Amino acid sequence: MRSESQTNPAMGRLLQSVNERTVVAIVVERDKDACSWIHTDGPEMTPNQAFEFVRKHGVVLESGRGPVPSLAEAVAQGPLKGSWWSHPKSKEIFALTRSVRDNDDVLVCRVVCGKVTFVHRRLWPALVRLAARLPRTHLGQIKEEHTPSGRHIVRTVPYPDWVSAEASRLALKLSESEAIAQVGTWLT
């Protein structure tokens, strides 16, 4: 089990506990010692299932609509109208998208339509092979950091600084058509 604690002066502490079976977030209000449990309709998706969704599809939007599946819509079990923040499963969506963002086998970038995109490690060589066809800024690796003061910072590791020697080596072995076949037709 992994536990994380983040502090936000406006709302007290948000404690998030993630394990293989469920996602539970507890909001501890600063002025009260009361806790509120998140209730969702229907079965919850686990962090492992969220990662499996990304692994299976290879390229997935964090949220929004586009030519590839959306993790937020998978968690919500259907299309989202408006912002996912207003959906009854918003806290589950948030927790699961953060667990996927923290996975070393997932690249977080903006490769699909400039939207936050998850790319599974098995597709990194294909993405590198096709980099010339994509806006370089969309290939930057997004990393989120939380400072000790609770401030949220988003940093971007520019392409190709995040690319491993292994991914570069494997990319050289792929033809452009092989790489497109791997990442999917959203690129064409």
Please report, for the chain, the start and end positions of each structural domain, with discontinuous segments joined by +.
42-187
Mean pLDDT of the chain: 82
Residue with tokens 């570069």: 168
Mean pLDDT, rounded, for 139-167: 95
Query: Exposed, middle or buried by CB within 10 Å (0-12, 13-18, 19+), for 46?
Result: middle
Lowest pLDDT segment from 17-21, 72-76, 135-139, 148-152: 17-21
- pLDDT above 90 as % of the chain: 71
Confidence band of 178 (pLDDT split at 50, 70, 90): very high
Tokens of 72: 């937020």
pLDDT of 146 higher than 50? yes
pLDDT of 33 higher than 60? no
| pTM exceeds 0.85 for this model | no
Query: Exposed, middle or buried by CB within 10 Å (0-12, 13-18, 19+), for 31?
Result: exposed
Residue environment code for 86-114, b if the CB has 16+ CB neighbours within 10 A, otherwise e: ebebbbbbbbbbbbbeebeebbbbbbbee
Lowest pLDDT segment from 41-45, 53-57, 141-145: 41-45
Provide the pLDDT for residue 45.
Answer: 94
Confidence band of 42 (pLDDT split at 50, 70, 90): low
Helices (H), the chain: 47-57, 71-76, 90-101, 124-129, 165-172, 176-183
Beta bridge partners of 27: 14, 36
